[in-house]
Amino acid sequence: MPKKLRKYWERFNSVIIVYVFLIVVLTAVSIVFPVFRSPRNLSNVLIQITPLAIIAIGQTIALIGGGVDLTVGVVASFTTVLAGNFMGQSPFGVFITIIFIFLIAIVIGTVNGVICNETKIPPLIVTLATGSIIRGIILSYRMSPGGSVPRAIVHFFNIEFSIFSIATVVLILLYVIFTLIMSRTKFGISVYAMGGNPEFARMAGISVKKVRIMTYIISAVLAAVAGLVISARTGTGIPNVGDPFLMDSLTAVIIGGATFAGGQGFIVGSFAGAVIVSIIHNVLNISNVSPFYQYIAKGAVLLIAMILNSRKKKL
């Protein structure tokens, strides 16, 4: 193998492997389930992928930085509840609510980042606890689904070009932007350095605390974007709609090659992970398997991905 090619392989092998795996899964599924290929179903899959893939970007950045964010699901739920309650209130409702939602997401991300910076509490526990607080706030506000999202927003996200909707365009834009940020900017390199070894990163002149706070802010804001996409789809506020995204985003990111050790992983890898997770959901749906098996499938896929991942670490 030429030297340059080998270098690329060494750097990107986790991404290449997950895309080869994705192609194999896609081919197998299309052959076994002809329904899967129908344009109608494919556009369904795209709709399912969007929020998960957006959340996966933030989760990937959190993991690369050596952290993890267990609040992504509740932030998405919070967003749908706020959108359902406030967007229809006034002519400027939509605009003001979106700004308000992003401000809240920034506050949540900052709180997570500051606590991780200033204490020795592991990020898993920090975000588990802040997640509980956020869930409490949501539930004290709204126990059951309700409120409504203005039609304008629903229409906007669902404008379709062939099988793509605006939501899909947003998704693609976010992936391009964050791939560039993580590979071409000082911030991106700092996140990798911090995840690899925070002490060395600090000695190299990176202000680790600021970078860490930024990773949690990005994760929370992207979870809020995903929440907006979800509320445009459901048209209402649902206090627990984000719950599945916590586990699904971890699964997607880990399939995509990021590790809990930090400093590893690529955003494009997580995209493939998110697509694979969504395909699994979709196949279980179209093959009329009882929805109860979804729990088993999801748990099994997460565990298998973690096991393969832990093998990789040892090599």
**CA 48, CA 238: separation in Å to the nearest integer?**
17
Question: Hey, what are 250's tokens?
Answer: 């971890």
Q: In a 3-state reduction of DSSP, which class is residue 238?
A: coil
Supply the minimum distance, in Å, between the C-beta of residue 108 and another protein: 12
Per-residue interface string for the shown chain with another protein, residues 78-117, x marking contact by CB under 8 A: -------------------------------------x-x
CA angle (223 as vertex; 142, 121 as ends), nearest 5: 90
Supply the minimum distance, in Å, between the C-beta of residue 276 and another protein: 16
Per-residue interface string for the shown chain with another protein, residues 194-223, x marking contact by CB under 8 A: ----xx-xx-----xx--------------
**Residue 108 identity:** I
Closest CB to another protein among 128 and 169? Answer: 128
Supply the minimum distance, in Å, between the C-beta of residue 239 and another protein: 10
Supply the minimum distance, in Å, between the C-beta of residue 249 and another protein: 11
Residue 310 contacts another protein per CB under 8 A: yes
Closest CB to another protein among 144 and 162? Answer: 144
Question: Hey, what are 185's tokens?
Answer: 């900017």
Closest CB to another protein among 140 and 162? Answer: 140
Q: Which stretch binds another protein (CB under 8 A): 14-22, 158-166, 214-222, 291-299?
A: 291-299
Spell out the long-range contacts of 101-104 with Cβ–Cβ below 8 A and sequence spacing 24 or more.
101/224, 101/227, 101/228, 102/221, 102/224, 104/78, 104/224
How many amino acids of this chain bind another protein (CB under 8 A)?
Answer: 50
Per-residue interface string for the shown chain with another protein, residues 39-68, x marking contact by CB under 8 A: ------------------------------
Distance of CA 307 to the CA centre of its chain: 21
Supply the minimum distance, in Å, between the C-beta of residue 262 and another protein: 12
Closest CB to another protein among 1 and 307? Answer: 307
Supply the minimum distance, in Å, between the C-beta of residue 198 and another protein: 4
Per-residue interface string for the shown chain with another protein, residues 119-138, x marking contact by CB under 8 A: xxxx-xxx-xxxxxx-xxxx
Of the candidates 211, 198, 312, 213, the one whose C-alpha atom is nearest the C-alpha of residue 254 is 312
99: CB partners within 8 A, 6+ apart = none
Closest CB to another protein among 65 and 188? Answer: 65
Closest CB to another protein among 3 and 120? Answer: 120
Footprint (CB under 8 A) of another protein, residues 226-285? 246-247, 250, 260
Of the candidates 68, 70, 71, 96, the one whose C-alpha atom is nearest the C-alpha of residue 82 is 96
Residue entry with tokens 């196949």: 283
**CA 145, CA 167: separation in Å to the nearest integer?**
23
CA atoms within 13 A on the CB side of 85: 16
54, 80, 222, 298: residue in contact with another protein (rule CB under 8 A)? 298
Question: Hey, what are 6's tokens?
Answer: 């080998």
| Contact indicator for 61, 298 with CB cutoff of 8 Å | no
**CA 84, CA 102: separation in Å to the nearest integer?**
15
> Which residues here bind another protein, judged by CB under 8 A?
115, 117-122, 124-126, 128-133, 135-141, 143, 198-199, 201-202, 208-209, 246-247, 250, 260, 290, 292-300, 302-303, 306-307, 310, 313
